[in-house]
Every structure is written in C-alpha cells, then in structure tokens.
A and B are shown apart, each in its own frame.
Chain A
Amino acid sequence: MAISLGTARTRRRRPRESRERDGRLAFWLVIPSVIVLTVVIAFPVISSVVRSFFGDGIGDVPFVGFQNYADALWGYGAQEFWAATGITYLFAGVTIVLETLIGLGMALVANRAFRGRGLLRASVLVPWAIPTAVAAVLWKWAFDPQGIINAITGSTVVWTGSAVPSIIAIIIADTWKTAPFVALLILAGLQIIPDDVYEAAKIDGASAWKRFWYITLPLVRPALLVAVLFRLLDALRMYDLPEIMTNGANGTATLSVLVVQSTLSQLKPGYGGALSTLTFALIFVTAYLFVRLLGVNAVDQASSGKGAGR
C-alpha cells in the first residue's frame, strides 16, 4: 500500500535506543497471541505427534515406535486409511475444480454488472454465512428419498444410502456453500485490472474471447491461485459435511472424519495421533507442491503485506 513507503522512511530515521524500546513493547503486545496459539495449537500438535509413537489405551502405554504409522499405512488400518485419503483428495479435487469454474463465472458476471450489484453481493454472501452444520442438515433433507431433489429430478435414488450418490450429494453441498466465496476472492482480483487494458485491446480488435484469454486470465491468475490454495487447505480438512450428511458411511469418511472416529469414538489416541500426523503431512506436502509448482506467493504476501495483484 502507498502508505508503507512513508512508514519505512520514519523507521529509518528512528535512533537505535527507541528501536530497542519498540522491541520490548512489541514483545508484550505479541505475547498473548503467541501464548494462545502455542497452548491451543503448537502444544497439541506436538503432543499428538509424540503420542503417535505410543500404544493405545489409558495410563502407562508402551512405546511402539512407528508401529501406529505402519498399521495405518500397510497394516490392519491400511484399507480405511487409503480409502479416506482417496475420498479426501477426490472431494478436494472435484469441489475445487467446480468451485473455481463456477466462482470464476460468477465473478466475471458480477464484475460486469452494474445494476443489482449490491443485491448480488448480498445473495452471494448468504451461502458463505450459513453455518456449515446448518447447510449440511439442509442438504441432508434435500437429498432425502422423499426430498426436493428427487421430486425435481423425478428419480427415486436413496442419496445417502450408497457410495456414489452420497459422494455426489456432498460435492453438491460443498460447491453450493463455497463457490460464492471463491467468486468473491476472484472478483477482488478482477477489480484491480485497469479498464484501459481492455479498451486498448478492443481498439486493437481483440474479440471478447481473446480479451478473456489473453488479458483477464493472466492478470487474475494470482488472485485465482490464492483462492485455490485457500480452498485446497480447507477442502483437505473437510469434516462437517460428511460427518452430518452421512456420518462417514458409504465410503465418505474423509481423513478428518476418520481421525475423529478413531480417537474419540474408538478411543485409540496413539493410532489416532498417527492418523492426524499423516493427515497434516499430506496437507502440508500438497500445499507445498501446489505453491512450488504454480508459484503462488501467498507467504510472500503475508510477510510483506504487498499484493500479488499489482
């Protein structure tokens, strides 16, 4: 932002003594947040990793090394773990593609519309604002055998009763809930593209399609990729929808559902710890690959505060 220039200048002018005082003040200002994050996130994550090397049960548990990981990866739990991994990535892949396409379409329309834009903005925010738990209940009933979906399509499918229809139902619910949010992120990227670029292209005789392909897409790419990255991190942790709509039945148990089931319902903290560590590792590696392969600089953006869009 323009003002950060001014800040930099004042900073340089400041003498060393006041910078030290800054440091002390900053410490006291930052420490409450750091403590909360450490207690609630860093400590549990570490203790869950440590716990994953011990056996299940309560009280004195034996050290089992990588046994829990072996169980999950190729032991007795391999089948459900890989099934959960598969369905998690299937959900993430399909919903992200659908949400990005629909979101891009919505953003392009919203960017061109002048009348009714406020109304559009408000209606786009409605699916985002509805609690996922409520949305899950809503879609669960819509997909009831006697529900509205079957009434409209004239089918008699028991949606949440078998694998493929359950998966479709969850994908539809997630797409409805999140595509508008993706649209908002992309719209913000579209709005920083200056109008004169389009004017120039128009004067040069570029067709609407060419303007979209050679101007809009490349210029909106940073915003698009950040939106996809956000969605990727979120979609790989999907929990509420499968938990409420199918209870993880019919092969819809995502990694998150599986972790909760094995730790809280089946009381296997060691094995559950291994599962959650594996889940985190998968998410981290996927996000890392995504950032490396596609060159999203979300991290840069976070630390420098400068937009990728300009």
Chain B
Amino acid sequence: MTETVTARRDTEVPRTSTPTPPRRRRRFTWGTGGLYVALVAIGIFCLAPFYWMVVSSLKGPADIFDNSLVPLEPTLENYAAVFGAQNTFALALRNSVIIAGSVTVIALVFGIFASYAIARLQFRGKNLVLGLFLATSMFPGVAILTPLFQLFADLGWIDTFQAMIIPDVSFSLPLGVWILTSFFRAMPWELEAAARVDGCTRGQAFRKIILPLAVPGVFTTAILVFISAWNEFMIANSMSLTSASQPVTVAIAQFSGISQYDKPYGTQMAAGVLVTIPLIILVLIFQRRIISGLTAGGVK
C-alpha cells in the first residue's frame, strides 16, 4: 500500500520529493540569507494571528486587554467558561461532529460513484453532468438560501441536522468529484481489465482492485470535505435556531463570556482555539495530501 501512496504523490504534483541537487550546493550568500528572512516573515504572517488567539484565550478578564505577547498569569478560566452553563459549546461540538461527519460520508459515497463514471465510463450527457458540477460550484450561496429556507420550512426541517447536511453535501460534491475524478483518471486501469479477464464482475473489480488503490485520493477528498463542512457558516447561521442543532461556527459568533462587560473576548478566543485545534492536527498530519488535493483543482 505504501508503495502506491508514494507513487501517487509523484504523479499528482511534482514536489519536493523529486530531488533537485544542483541548487543545493550553494553556500551561505546574501541570497540564501534573504530567503531565510523571507521564510520567517511568511511564518509570522501565517501564524501570528493564531498565536495571538491562543495567548488571548489564556488570559483572565483582568488582563485580557493588556496586549502583552505572553499571558502574564495564564489561566484556564476561559476554557472553563466555554463549557460553562451559559454556553452550549459541548453541544455545538457534538452537532458539528455529526454534521461534518455525515457530510463527509455522504459526499464521498456519491462523489466516488459519480467520479468513477466520469473518469471511467463513456456515456451520453457526460458534458452536461460536468457542466452541472461546474455551474453549481459558481453559484453564490445566498442565491439558494431563501428558497432553500422556505423549502425546508415547508418540510418542517428548520433547526434539524438534515437542513444543514444536505446543502453542505451539495457544496462539497463539485470539489470532491473534481479531485476524485483526477485521482481515478491517474489510476492503472490495466489492473481492472486483468481482474475482469480473470472473471471478476465490474463491481468486484471495483471493490477489490480499484477502491483499495483509490484510498489515498478518497482520503484526501475526505479531509477537504470535512474541513469545509466543519467551517461552513452561512447555511448553518440561517438553518439552526437553537443550540440543539447549532454547529460550533454559529455558536462561537453568539457567545457570551465570563465577564459581565458584554465582551466575551477570552471565551470566544478559547472556543476558537478548541474549534481550530482538530483542524490544525489534520493539517499537520496530512499537509501533503491536503495540498495535492487543493492544487488538483487549480493546476494538474
């Protein structure tokens, strides 16, 4: 399995793993010095705001606006408040996990079916289907918000999970199909042909040969779909009314804090850290896959 993984990486996007020795031989010059300065600058640009969120989340209400770069008296007060009685953050976390999890599973199943057909089968109306996927990824979300709200209101679905899961699935499908199709296209189909010569049905060949090979691509898509569903705000903000169905993104925006000053700064920062940490972990572990998936859409 690991062999196919590395093979995939190399075919997908040429990357660091392909060695380019001639350039490395250079000694320290002003050029490389400047390069490291630039690297540090990029790191600060990307990470400083997140660092500030972590620092702020560790400050108590008294020194929250002291603007010192390290928490002088670190406290977990804000984190306690996040899970405290006046906020329903634990519930929101559960809701987010249910919503993003369901979206990932459904979008993957549908996406694998559709992209297998697009990459592997010839059928009439293929361009129409591709056009539909492309067009839907262009529509402004707000254009569908009101009619969808009314449709779901008629069905009595407002404030339910499916009212958020179904739209999220449709938002993820174009991207998912795009990435999966590019993965399926790059697959050695001779294996499938060989399996069928040996007497496998198309279904068996798919299940036993193609799907295991497609695991890296499916996994990449799963991460991207999960992150986008976890981060969705606009649909959730309209469809969820109570804490019973609110995901974390909506809950954070409506937080009340520990201090009575109507400025739930520390609490919001703590909640923000908690929401972001799973994503940061995903990013740290799967950075290569995420990048290959992201860039598959733009340049291939």
Contact = CB atoms under 8 A, between A and B. Distances in A.
A59 interface: no
A121 B291 contact: yes
Contacts of A215: none
Interface string B3-29: 000000001011110001011100000
A47 B170 contact: no
Q: Say what secondary structure dominates the interface of chain A.
A: helix
B114 interface: yes
A202 to B, nearest CB: 11
A148 B67 contact: yes
B283 interface: yes
Interface stretch (B70-78, B82-90, B214-222, B273-281): B273-281
B177 interface: yes
B186 A146 contact: no
Nearest to B147: A44
Interface string B137-158: 1111111111111110000000
Interface stretch (A69-77, A89-97, A136-144, A156-164): A136-144
A41 B136 contact: yes
B264 to A, nearest CB: 10
A: contact size bracket:
35 or more
B291 A184 contact: yes
A125 B290 contact: yes
- Range of interface residues on chain B? 35 or more
A248 interface: no
B134 interface: yes
Contacts of B185: 1, 3-4, 7, 305
Q: Could you tell me the dominant secondary structure of chain B's interface residues?
A: helix
Contacts of A216: none
Contact of B276 (A131, A185, A195): A131
A256 B169 CA distance: 21
Contacts of A124: 42, 46
Contact of A120 (B43, B56, B133, B188): B43
Contact of A188 (B13, B189, B190): B13
A179 to B, nearest CB: 8
A130 B276 contact: yes
A122 B16 contact: no
Contacts of A213: none
B139 A185 contact: no
B143 A260 contact: no
A134 B275 contact: yes
A246 interface: no
B49 A119 contact: no
A65 interface: no
A40 B124 CA distance: 24
B129 to A, nearest CB: 6
B122 A40 contact: no
Contact of B127 (A2, A264, A303): A303
Interface in A281-310: 283-284, 287, 299, 301-303, 305-309
A195 to B, nearest CB: 6
Nearest to A32: B110
Interface in B49-82: 49-50, 52-53, 56, 65, 67
A305 B181 contact: yes
A113 B35 contact: yes
Given A40-B166, A185-B295, A34 B56 contact: no
B146 A263 contact: yes
In the complex, which of the residues A37, A120, A136, A223 has the most CB atoms of chain B within 10 Å of its own CB atom?
Answer: A37
A40 B103 CA distance: 14
A239 B300 contact: no
Interface in A87-120: 102, 105-106, 109-110, 112-114, 116-120
B117 A25 contact: yes
Interface of B: 11, 13-16, 20, 22-24, 35, 38-39, 42-43, 45-47, 49-50, 52-53, 56, 65, 67, 109-111, 113-114, 116-124, 126-127, 129-130, 132-134, 136-151, 166-167, 169-170, 173-174, 177-178, 181-182, 185-190, 193, 202, 227, 230-231, 233-234, 237-238, 248-250, 252-253, 263, 265, 268-269, 272, 275-276, 279-280, 282-284, 287-288, 290-291, 294-295, 297-300
